[in-house]
Amino acid sequence: MGKFLLILGRGVGQVMFQNNALSGALMLVGILLNSWQMALLAVAGNIVGTLAAYLSGYSREDIENGLYGFNGTLVGIAIGVFMPITLPSLLLLIVVSCLSTWIAWLFSLQRFISGFTAPFILSVWILLFVCSCWFPSLLLKSENSAGMQAFAFLQSFSLNIGQVMFQGGAILTGLFFLLGILVNSRVNAVYAVLGALLPIPIALLAGVESAVLNAGLIGYNGVLCAIALGDKTWSGGVYAVFSVLLSVFLQLLGMNVGITTLTAPFVLSVWITIGIRYLLLTLFPAKQKVA
């Protein structure tokens, strides 16, 4: 049971690149503070995704590190975001969580790019497409009742972190997510703060509605970008900042054309930034010191 709980915790923590069960537990508490239903769905998706990997004979080390649980965690929460909690939606949670695990395995077969949350994105996009075309009654109707709001800095900052896992209802949730990162890595925590802060002035300059900004819908991709690329070097910081800015642009673009972006701006931004870094290193290789 203890090993199972460690894997479960790591599966939640890996959503934000934290291979630490305590990090995952704190993040799960954060979700619970916003919605106990979403917390249960996160756990359910995590378990299903992990079991699918285990039964499929995938790498035991990757399973124990939570690498087959974090996409399922996001899928589980997404079910509660886009669907009412019914027997059909719970059955779909099982199917789509398994699908995310199988797609994650396909990404593991190559070493050119990391899949990050792409398995979750592709799985949920397939789910939404199928339901929209053939089973629209399974989806919740979208509502836009935010109305006029004044910009709230703390809310916007915290929910930029919370929305990484669809949590836009409690300021404390984002702070617990940040604490979960901090207990594992101070460097990652600093970059998470940077990723949550930087999109705010960009969005204000772009004229984004305060209600959208306050809900954390502009900056959550930036949080993931900053953690993924940031390190203790100046170049790491520069790449992180570039990726965050690119993710904000892609998020605004996707929202303007009506795409359910999920974390696609994060994945695309990091892939593009890694490609640029590789190109620069190829064109301008670092000089080797002669002994």
What band does 144 get if pLDDT is binned at 50, 70 and 90? low
Is pTM beyond 0.85 here?
A: yes
Closest listed residue to residue 68, CA positions, set 29, 27, 108: 108
Which residues have C-beta within 8 Å of that of residue 275, sequence separation ≥ 6?
none
CA distance readout (Å), 178 to 108, 166, 192: 28, 15, 7
pLDDT class of 147 with cuts at 50, 70, 90: low
pLDDT tens, residue by residue, 196-247? 999 999 999 999 999 999 999 999 999 999 999 999 999 999 999 999 999 9
Other residues' Cβ atoms within 10 Å of the Cβ of residue 290: 4
Q: Amino acid identity, residue 237?
A: G
Percentage with pLDDT > 90 across the chain: 91
For tokens 């203790």, name the residue: 232
DSSP 208: -
Mean pLDDT, rounded, for 73-80: 98
